[in-house]
Amino acid sequence: MEWLSKQLFNKICYPCIVNLYKDTILKLSRRDALKISAATVAATALSACTNENIKLPKKQKTKNIFLPFPKTKVPRVVVVGGGWSGLSLAKQLKVEAPQAEVILVEQRFEFVSCPMSNLWLVDKIDLEFLTHDYLQGARENNYTFFQASVYGIDKEAKILKTTNGDIEYDYLALAPGIDYDYSFWTDDKILENRLRNEYPAAFKPGSEHMTLRNKILNFKGGNFIFTVPAGNYRCLPAPYERACMVADYFKIKGVKAKVIILDENNDITIKEHGFHTAMEELYSDYLEYVPNAKIEEIDLDKKLVVTEFDEFEFEDASFYPHVRGAKILETLGFAKDTIYNKMEANIDPFSYEVIGEENIFVSGDARPMGFSKSGNTSNTEAKHVARLIARKINKKPKIKWESPVTVCISLVSINPERGIFIHSEYAYNKKAGQFEFATPVTDEIWKGKHGEQNAASAYDWARAMYADMFE
């Protein structure tokens, strides 16, 4: 546990302290703060509920509307996406290149964290713990928050098209995250829409989580199915943690229920020893783990899931499909199929620049590399991408590729709270032509005080990360 505390401080808390010190130096003047506030208010007033994936007809000319950002003599970096990667990137850019104008474009009005949300699903933490203020992050770190959806780009003119006006840019950093890919299960759009609306995966924060939470808290009994996709899906341990949380909640409440995990993989994908032992010793009557469960049919009317080898009835469910890069990458022409998932970013994996495009970068879960699609990974990676962009802005030599860091603490029980831990970086395997885990360190002891200390560390980690992004 002493090692864990030291690692968390060195990897997370110490950089937070350094950043907070730097941020104090970079505080806004009152006049600059008023300018940013006015721009944000104007953006919010003009916002509209518009699909981010709208495509303009080919060859149709549209008038450029530059609102509300006038031309500037300083370099302008536009960051698209206000998740863990985008927030970290915007903040770090102002540290590395304080002279640059940084604009964060995000379609949501407030930030809700996906990491730690499994605890909210079972009523262990308040929503306030997960929810944060985009405007605060912008004010504290001297960049501009602009609420809008992106729908197009003029690469030659370097203009990003959004629902609230067009923005000229010198550098563009995309951190749009994931979308779901239901094509492995069905090409029936009616079924897909029902799955999205009635049985959401809840790995994109917001309404999906609210729907799943209500399902869990109001469940009367029977089979509750969770699925785990193959490929590099968002947060490898999260589906198993979620299943344990829900099984423990049903056990505590005395609900006559069974959580069934239909895993497309041949085993638990990460921290398998810790999860297996917890499932067997704590939830043998409440949880059933089924590996190699490739889904062939989902009948929502009969409430039946058919796999290659069996059939499973359910009273309720949360279906987690395969993931893909966010569709805005495809809309903008920056996506390709990869060995991991569909339509991830078409970038140089060492420079993060879009192939064939100068000064356009992609960071976070939409990347094609096999890094964990998780918060800590995106946060540390984004800081490296910010340094890459800043080197260009400051006309300094390129720096070497730097591995992101994955720190993940998963809870296996809520009464008492006990957890397991992994810390890893990555290395490029030239022979295999791909990135792999490098020197991972796991702590899968969840029993006794040791497991309780691991769980407590999850809260310390989350608070440190939230502070790192918003303060």
Domain boundary among the residues 393, 417, 432 is at 393
The length of the chain in residues reads 471
CB atoms within 10 A of CB 417: 18
Instruction: Kindly state whether residues 134 and 151 are assigned to the same domain.
Output: yes
Residues 209 and 166 in one domain: no
Helices H, strands E: what count in the chain? 14, 24
> Cα Rg for the chain, rounded, in angstroms?
22
My answer on whether 340 and 245 are in the same domain is no
Closest CA to 242 of 322, 124, 324: 124
- Note the pLDDT of residue 59: 45
Report the pLDDT value the prediction gives residue 50, as an integer from 0 to 100.
36
263 assigned to some structural domain: yes
Mean local confidence (pLDDT), 42-65: 45
219 shares a domain with 293: yes
**What does the pLDDT look like over 291-330, one tens digit per residue?**
999 999 999 999 999 999 999 999 999 999 999 999 999 9
Of 344, 362, 393, which residue constitutes the final position of a domain?
A: 393
In this predicted model, what pLDDT tens digit does every residue of 232-280 receive, in sequence order?
Answer: 999 999 999 999 999 999 999 999 999 999 999 999 999 999 999 999 9
Q: Name the band, by pLDDT with cuts 50, 70 and 90, for residue 65.
A: low
Per-residue confidence band for 64, with pLDDT thresholds at 50, 70 and 90: low
Terminal CA-to-CA distance of the chain, rounded, Å? 28
Domain housing 465: 180-323+406-470
CATH number, domain at 102?
3.50.50.60
Q: How far apart are CA 365 and CA 151, in angstroms?
A: 19
Predicted confidence (pLDDT) per residue in 329-380, tens digit: 999 999 999 877 889 999 999 999 999 999 999 999 999 999 999 999 999 9
pLDDT score of 2: 45
| Statement: residue 43 has pLDDT above 50 | no
- Tokens standing for residue 448: 């006794």
Mean of the per-residue pLDDT values of the chain = 89
Based on the domain organization, do 55 and 162 belong to the same domain? yes
Q: What is the pLDDT of residues 138-156, one digit of tens each?
A: 999 999 999 999 999 999 9
Give the Cα separation of 343 and 345 in Å (integer).
7
398: in domain: no
The total number of structural domains in the chain stands at 2
3-state SS string for 11-40? HHHHHHHHHHHHHHHCCCCHHHHHHHHHHH
**pLDDT band of 63, cuts 50, 70, 90:** low
DSSP-derived letter for residue 182 is: G
Asked if residue 399 belongs to a domain, the reply is no
Domain boundary among 362, 393, 424: 393
Q: Residue 35: name the closest of 169, 143, 164, 165 by CA.
A: 143
- Give the pLDDT confidence score for residue 151 in this predicted structure: 96
- Would 242 be classed as within a structural domain? yes
Report DSSP state, residue 183: G
Is residue 401, in this structure, part of any structural domain at all? no
Mean pLDDT of 447-458: 97
